[in-house]
Structure 1
């Protein structure tokens, strides 16, 4: 479940994108969690496990073992990274479903996914707005803009 749903208590386009990302990851991984019991206790979700493998540049190690290594590593990496992009903790950072479709159809490259999973913060900030603010913008102005964008 998208982390923000516990705060908003409602589904949105962004929570649907998150759920689709989890689905893509589960399909590629065969719905499995880490093999070792010790790892199963460490990772809260399959997303956390795949993100950890991504941080070690071993993301394709999460692919379903039943494939016996017979899969296109480039495609698997693409779908897994796309899944992680959809599961970004900040809903404003998730790709749109039209972007997801373009990537799956081979018309676009997957969005950049940081090796370290970003922390979830609430309320989420739209990074496009934050980037447009200049260094002279006061904290009060930023808070007012945030209220306008995300509500009180």
Structure 2
């Protein structure tokens, strides 16, 4: 499940994209999350596998605003579009999520309303 669903309690298009990303990563890797053994023994196209893995990672982006839409997912899978770019370093989950238009020069969380998920505590 998408990390934000535990905070909002609502399913959205973005949470569906996250779930789809997890599914295609499971199928591409041949194993469930947390499993130690890979069962990938079938011949496959490295180019197609790379595309599917990148797409799965993009769908699992911690910021729901930066996940591809299902329309884009279908375009990538049908080779009408190239896979989305994914960050070199995996970003942390932050809530509320930063909108895609966030272009401030100061990206620190100090003094802002953004709270890292790890800093949220129960009342």
The equivalent of 1:65 in structure 2 is: 40
1:134 CA drift (Å):
8.5
TM-score in terms of structure 2 length: 0.78
For the aligned residue pairs, the C-alpha RMSD in angstroms reads 2.1
The equivalent of 1:91 in structure 2 is: 64
Structure 2 unaligned segments of length 5 or more: list them. 107-111, 114-123
**C-alpha distance in 2 between matches for 1:89 and 1:77:** 20
The equivalent of 1:4 in structure 2 is: 4
**C-alpha distance in 1 between matches for 2:15 and 2:60:** 9
The equivalent of 1:28 in structure 2 is: 28
Q: Report the count of equivalent residues.
A: 107
Residues 127-150 of structure 1: CA deviation (Å, up to 9, x unaligned): 22x22x689xxxxxx97xxxxxxx
The equivalent of 2:90 in structure 1 is: 117
1:116 CA drift (Å):
1.6
TM-score in terms of structure 1 length: 0.64
Residues 86-145 of structure 1: CA deviation (Å, up to 9, x unaligned): 0000000000110000000001111101122110000101022x22x689xxxxxx97xx
Structure (1/2) with the larger helix percentage: 1
**C-alpha distance in 2 between matches for 1:14 and 1:26:** 19
The equivalent of 1:57 in structure 2 is: none
Structure 1 unaligned segments of length 5 or more: list them. 36-61, 136-141, 144-152
When residues 120 and 134 of structure 1 are mapped into structure 2, their CA distance, relative to the original with a 3 A threshold, is closer
